[in-house]
Every structure is written in structure tokens, then in C-alpha cells.
Structure 1
Amino acid sequence: MRDATDDFVTYRNLLFTVAYEMLGSAADAEDVLQETWLRWADVDLDQVRDRRAYLVRITTRQALNRLRTMQRRRESYVGSWLPEPLLTTPDASGDVELAESMSMAMMLVLETLAPTERAVFVLREVFDVGYDEIAEAVGKTPAAVRQIAHRARQHVDARRPRQTVSENEVRAALDSFQKALAGGDLQGLLHVLAPDTVLIADGGGLKQAAARPISGADKVARFMLGGLRKGQFSYTTAFATVNGSPALAFHVDGEFDGVMAARVDQGRITGLYYVRNPEKLTRLTDAAEVTLR
């Protein structure tokens, strides 16, 4: 049992990252890890050639089962759905590949994939798992996995951010955004927001939020400023590292209200993602240890 425990602890952060990128939910990823451990503890380790690969396989299968259940659950979700944000350590933003793969923008792209496509894409493109290993994990032939991977890659490439953006670029854009917002500066917001920017807010039916995405810089800016002018409250913002990138944490009347992440392209904000659903904010007290290895 000690050997099984040591292996699980060694790869726990990797397994959590795999499950989170497949599910977009830290709570469900933690449940998957519990299920993985229960199955791992019953494995005859003498028969396991590659323990890391075996653990990733178990995690993938459990995450796939949960993902199919979650998709049915999301059909009745109130309002727009966003991934559960993760508070990550500052060094996560220094790993460009990791930060890009778990950004809010990329996680939303992954949501458009079917469960098996998402599993194959995550394992191959994010974690560089071989086709044979992926085939065992998802119950397909290696040839089928190659076809799925190709199709998923094309789908994602057509929707993912066009270029990699540095931590400093994201921070600078968010800094300009929050200063313009605090000053009620409409022109300042229009300067930092790209013309086709989109605001998505997730209240989960528990907090007030826009029922549908708001598109266009002018509409987004006026919506944000209008909400602040109408509200009888005070608010503050602070930077945090969320999903490997800079984000803004909002406090309203001294209480933590939510997290806003951004997608930035050529210095301007093309997407704003505001998570207010309190059930999705529980992982923002302690930094999650995430890794691609």
C-alpha cells in the first residue's frame, strides 16, 4: 500500500490538472482523483509497467464518465456557463504552455468538443501522451484516436486565441480596464476593449448576471458602467493569478464577489469572463498546484 500511496502522491498534481482540463471544474476534478485512488489502490503494481501512464489512464476514464454526466447537467444551467476558476501560483503564468491550455478562453473552446474529442485533445496536445496510450484510456483504436485528434485540433485551432500573449500584456490591458471602470471613463474602456469584445458572466442563478453574452465594445462598456452607476454599493479590485494568467478579483461592500479573467489580443481585450456563482469560487482561497508533467 505504501508504494501505491507514494506513486499517487507523486503524480497527484498532474492527475488533477488532467481532470480539471477535461472537466472545467475543480470540485469534480477532486472527485475524479478520489475515484482514481480507489481504483489505483486495488491494482497489482507488479503487473504495471508504467505507473504514471496507468494513473493517467484511470483518471481519464473517470473524467470521461463524469464529463458525460456534467454535460447533461449543464443543459439546465441558469444563464451562461463558465469554467470554475482556479487560483494558481505565480509561477504557473511563467509556463506559457500551461497558462494557455488552462486559460478561460481555451477552456471555453474545449467546451465545444464532444467528451471523447476533448479527452483526446487534452491528452495529446496538452500533455503529449502517445496515441497508443490515449487509445487505451478512451477505448478506441490508435487509428481512430489519430482521426479524432486531427478533427479536434482543427476545431480548436479555428477558435483558439490567434497568438500567445504574455502575462505582462494581459496585466497591462486589465490595469487599463480597471482604471477606466473605476473612473467611469467610457472612452477609456472603448480604447482598451476590442470592437468585437464579448462579456460572459456566470451567476449560476445564485447571483445576478447577464443572462446571455454581451457583444461589442460599446455595449459591454455601457453595461459595466451602467451596473456600477445603478448599484448602491462600493467595490474594489485586486490582481490575482487565476488559471495561470492575471485576473481581477472583485470585492463588493467588502465581500468577495467574483473573478474576472480576460482574453487579450494585440493589447486589447477581446473577451471578459466574470464568474460570480459562489459555488464556483471555493478554490480561490488556496493556490492549486497544477503541472503538465
Structure 2
Amino acid sequence: MNTESLFETYRSRLLGLAYRLLGSRSDAEDVVQDAWLRWHQADRSAIRDAEAWLVTATTRLGIDRLRLVRNERENYPGPWLPEPLTVDTSPTPESRADIGSQVSLAFLSLLERLGPEERAAFLLKEVFDYDYAQVAELIGHSEANCRQMVHRARQRVQAERPRFEVEPDTHRRLLERFMYATQAGDRAAIMQLLHANATLVSDGGGKVTATIRPLQGSDRIADLFWALSRRAGDELKTRIGSVNGEPALMRWYQGRLHSITTITIEDDRIAQVLSVLNPDKLPASG
């Protein structure tokens, strides 16, 4: 198998790793391209395991890139949310069934709280199922140190993840009810769907109007959607699509994709609303 064909065999795995590390499709694609350049220039006669070499290169390049972008994200105008990897405006039942192979924006947002190497160790162990000896070799730390990093990361992530998994059909039905309530500007119906202490985070990137800090409380979130429905009227079109394989609200304004919104659910109510409005993170059309 030639150099390019061998690389292409592993490209989707490398992109999945880089994306989970960085929470940005564009940054992940840059990292994979850098890995390709290194692979192209490497002495392959000295490489015994191509997959291990490529995963190591991608992991270390991803860690380096994450250190750089973390400073940018700290100075980002308003909250920073992950850039979707896949946006499907008209998902089929088959594509919706693939939810488990993707990664939610909420999960990626949790990973932002981990340090670069801690995040890499956690993903390699918990998502990509490498053992600790392999993780240690991939990121260049001792096995004991990797165990500590994964343990700390697991504790932090589990403390903030929903306690129970929600069936995809249940998730979709609750999202549909939320869609109809927000379209109608029905404040009472919106509040009924939300936890009393629900949180909304919206990312406008300083490019479009968005909340500049997270909103806490069902009443404040309901007020926001009530005001939005009154201001936009019939010009705001909404339907269910999917983001990274997860059901999402897609909103169009004057024919352009305006935002995508995903939710997390606790005790049959919406605990978190994440809205990406930054046009740089959205497809130009859908």
C-alpha cells in the first residue's frame, strides 16, 4: 500500500481524535494535515506500526495546538462553544440511529475544563480504548502519571454529566416540544420544559447578537425566547436536524442558517441549552 493510501486508511480515526481534543473541525483538520506532512516526510522503513505512529503524531500535534487555542478561547467575546463536526439539516432515521458514534457538544464543552494533556489521556483511555501503557507512550508520560490524569479527568467529567442516559426518541420528543414552545413564544410552556435552574449558553463570537454570559434559571431563559419570537416573528424558521449525530434545533433567518441548538436532559426536563450562533462555526447553507 502506498504512502497516501495508508494514511487515508486512518484519516477518519485521526480526525475523530483531533476533533475531540480540540472541539473545532477547522483546527482538527489542520492538525491532521500537519500529521500528513510529517508522515510524508518520515522514513517509513523505520516505522514498525503505522497506526501507532500516526496516532502519536496527531495526539502530540493536537496537544500543542490546544495549548495555543486555549489562550484565544480565554479572550473570546462571550462564551466559547465547540464548532460542530457534522451538521445534518434533514437527518434520516438511519443517520439518527448513529448517535452513539458521534460526540455531543455538551460533552465537548465539559472537556474544555481539562488541561491539554489531561484531556488527551482521558480521550485515549475512555473514548478510544487504549490501555494505560499505550496512553503513556502516545503522550510521552509515565504510566502512573497517565493513570492519575485519567482518574482526575473522569471525576470532573462524571460530576457534571447527566446522571442517566436518555433514549434518543425521548430526547427528540422533548426537543420538538421545546421547538414548538419557543416558536410560539409560549413562556409558560417553555418554563414547564426546563429545570428551574437550567442554564443557557450561546456563542456568537462577537459576530452576531448573543448573550455575553450564561443565563441561569428557567424564567430568564423563557424570557429570552419569548422576546426572540416577538422580535423575529415569521422570519425565523425552525426545524429539527442533527449535530454530531445528536438531535438539534436548526434556525434560519432570512434564508441563512442562524443557529443550532442542542439540549441536555435531567429528570425528563431540559437542564442545559447550548446555542451556536457564530457564523464562522455554521455551514453557509443548509
Helix, strand or coil for the counterpart of 1:240?
Answer: strand
Helix, strand or coil for the counterpart of 2:66?
Answer: helix
Q: Give the Cα separation in 1 of the matches to 2:150 and 2:285.
A: 33
Q: Give the Cα separation in 1 of the matches to 2:141 and 2:148.
A: 11
Worse-matched range after superposition: 237-246 or 65-74: 237-246
Q: Give the Cα separation in 1 of the matches to 2:284 and 2:122.
A: 25
Helix, strand or coil for the counterpart of 2:80?
Answer: coil
- Alignment correspondent of 1:130: 131
Match runs of 1:150-165 below 5 Å: 150-165=151-166
Gap change, CA 1:210 and 1:222, over 3 Å in 2: same
- Alignment correspondent of 1:49: 48
Q: Give the Cα separation in 2 of the matches to 1:193 and 1:204.
A: 26
5+ long unaligned stretches in structure 2: none
- Alignment correspondent of 1:70: 69
Q: Is 1:203 the counterpart of 2:209 in the alignment?
A: no
Identity across matched positions, percent: 39
Q: Give the Cα separation in 2 of the matches to 1:273 and 1:30.
A: 24
Deviations 1:151-185 (A, max 9, x none): 11111111112122222122111100011112221
How much does 1:256 deviate? 1.4
Query: Is the 1:53–1:133 contact (alpha carbons within 8 Å) kept by the matching residues of 2?
Result: no
Worse-matched range after superposition: 132-141 or 117-126: 132-141
How much does 1:93 deviate? 4.6
Match runs of 1:152-231 below 5 Å: 152-231=153-232
- Alignment correspondent of 1:34: 33
Worse-matched range after superposition: 237-246 or 43-52: 43-52
Q: What do you get for the CA RMSD once the two structures are aligned?
A: 1.9
Gap change, CA 1:139 and 1:96, over 3 Å in 2: same
Query: Is the 1:170–1:245 contact (alpha carbons within 8 Å) kept by the matching residues of 2?
Result: no
Helix, strand or coil for the counterpart of 2:41?
Answer: coil
Equivalent residue pairs, number:
282
Query: Is the 1:87–1:240 contact (alpha carbons within 8 Å) kept by the matching residues of 2?
Result: no
Worse-matched range after superposition: 226-235 or 52-61: 226-235
The one-letter code sitting in structure 2 at the alignment partner of 1:38 is: L
The one-letter code sitting in structure 1 at the alignment partner of 2:56 is: R
Query: Is the 1:235–1:253 contact (alpha carbons within 8 Å) kept by the matching residues of 2?
Result: yes
5+ long unaligned stretches in structure 1: 286-293
The one-letter code sitting in structure 2 at the alignment partner of 1:132 is: A
Q: Give the Cα separation in 2 of the matches to 1:44 and 1:284.
A: 43
- Alignment correspondent of 1:290: none
Gap change, CA 1:22 and 1:283, over 3 Å in 2: farther
How much does 1:253 deviate? 2.3
Q: Give the Cα separation in 2 of the matches to 1:264 and 1:93.
A: 18
The one-letter code sitting in structure 2 at the alignment partner of 1:167 is: P
- Alignment correspondent of 2:80: 81
Query: Is the 2:257–2:282 contact (alpha carbons within 8 Å) kept by the matching residues of 1?
Result: no
How much does 1:284 deviate? 7.5
Query: Is the 1:237–1:251 contact (alpha carbons within 8 Å) kept by the matching residues of 2?
Result: yes
- Alignment correspondent of 1:264: 265
Q: Give the Cα separation in 2 of the matches to 1:115 and 1:92.
A: 31
Q: Give the Cα separation in 2 of the matches to 1:29 and 1:250.
A: 26
Gap change, CA 1:252 and 1:36, over 3 Å in 2: same
Q: Give the Cα separation in 1 of the matches to 2:69 and 2:280.
A: 15
Q: Give the Cα separation in 2 of the matches to 1:92 and 1:39.
A: 34
How much does 1:222 deviate? 0.9
The one-letter code sitting in structure 2 at the alignment partner of 1:223 is: L
Helix, strand or coil for the counterpart of 1:162?
Answer: coil
Worse-matched range after superposition: 186-195 or 110-119: 186-195
Deviations 1:41-91 (A, max 9, x none): 123333333222221111101100100000011121001110002325765
* TM-score where L is the length of structure 1: 0.90
- Alignment correspondent of 2:3: 4
Q: Give the Cα separation in 2 of the matches to 1:37 and 1:132.
A: 25
